[in-house]
Amino acid sequence: MNKKLVFLDIDGTLTEAGSNTPPESALIAIRKAMNNGHKVFLCTGRNPGMLAPVLEYGFDGAVACGGGYVFTKDEVLYDCPMTEEQKTLGMEILKRNGVFRTIEAKDITYGDEDLADFLAEASEGNSELIRWRKALAEELNIHSIDEYDGRPIYKIVFMCRTSDQLTEAKEALEDQFNFVVQDVAAHNCLNGELVNRKFDKGRGVRIVAEHFNIPIEDTIGFGDSMNDLEMIQTVGFSVCMANGSPRLKEESKMIAPAVTEDGLFKAFEELGLI
């Protein structure tokens, strides 16, 4: 078969939400696929600092920051932080509307002081919320927003009670940023992120494919939530995990078993990667 370029989301796809440890079956599948000549990239909303523990398993590179920072083992292929004006305006408007915020630099994430208390009341039903709650609890490179030192920012993650709290920010920024809102969880909690319209996971896939001169039809993407949508719509063959979003399943060509049921290994087998 042609050599494939495989893209894996992390939370809810490669690992259980909030974890940095893939199931052993997934690691076996990835190593076998790479030994067969396929390339395997992470494709994630995480910044390099937060995905560093997962990169140690030997991936070929990553589409990080939701597509804003793309790199191989040896080379940075794309680097697009927010402008200072974009970051300042977004942060001010969200704060004014009582929205809880985190900002992601390349290597450090900063969060509002009371975000941990807010998340403690949130539902277990959203993989992104679970990831942030665990990351905060474990102090996974998340610093107080008061410590922010002006370094470039790639993404603003927001959490709030109602969609009305996002109205002013959308009016000011929706022409420049895609407001990616995840599922509405219990306790009326919305969470999502501002992703620069200059990039997304799908464009990140294309950047990597072009770099290695691999046709898009020979790319495969695995995801579980709506922030994987552009990747799923771009790759030649799309896979959603059984534990994933119902909407993403509708967009995908294949449903793999859940991450807790050796889903990646079974899908890699079915697709002939191993």
pLDDT at 139 over 60: no
The mean pLDDT value for 29-42 works out to 98
pTM: 0.84
Is 42:65 a contact under the CB 8 Å cutoff? no
Lowest mean pLDDT among 72-81, 183-192, 240-249: 183-192
Quote the pLDDT of residue 161: 80
- Look-up: residue for tokens 């450090």? 108
CA-to-CA distance for 218 and 207, rounded, in angstroms? 14
Q: Please, which pLDDT band fits residue 122 given cuts at 50, 70 and 90?
A: low
CA distances to 70, 72, 100, 141, 216 from 25, rounded to whole Å, are 27, 24, 37, 28, 27
pLDDT of res. 113: 73
pLDDT at 127: 59
pLDDT number for residue 186: 44
CB-CB contact of 70 with 212 (8 Å): no
Torsion angle of the four alpha carbons 216, 224, 68, 169, in this order, in degrees rounded to the nearest 10: 130
Q: What average pLDDT does the chain have?
A: 89
Residue 132 to residue 193: CA distance in whole angstroms: 12
Q: What is the pLDDT of residues 153-171, one digit of tens each?
A: 999 989 888 889 999 999 9
Write phi, then psi, for 219 (nearest 5 degrees).
-110, 145
Q: Tell which phi-psi region holds residue 86, choosing left (phi > 0), alpha (psi between -120 and 50) or beta.
A: alpha
Give strand ranges (E) for the chain: 5-8, 39-43, 61-64, 69-72, 76-79, 100-104, 109-111, 142-144, 155-160, 177-181, 190-196, 219-223, 237-241, 254-256
pLDDT bracket for residue 174 (50, 70, 90): very high
Contacts of 41 (CB under 8 A, 6+ apart): 5, 6, 7, 8, 59, 60, 61, 62, 63, 208
Q: How many CA atoms lie within 13 A of 170 on its CB side?
A: 10
- Of 62-71, 87-96, 115-124, 142-151, the one with minimum mean pLDDT is 115-124
Cα 212 vs. chain centroid, distance in angstroms? 22
Angstrom distance (rounded) from CA 272 to CA 274: 5
Residue whose structure tokens are 């002939």: 272
Measured CA to CA, the distance from residue 145 to residue 172 in angstroms comes to 22
Residue 194 contacts residue 158 (beta carbons within 8 Å): yes
The per-residue pLDDT for 129 is: 56
What would the mean pLDDT of 116-129 be, rounded to a whole number? 57
**189 versus 238: which is more confidently predicted?**
238
From the list 247, 244, 235, the residue with the least C-alpha distance to 14 is: 244
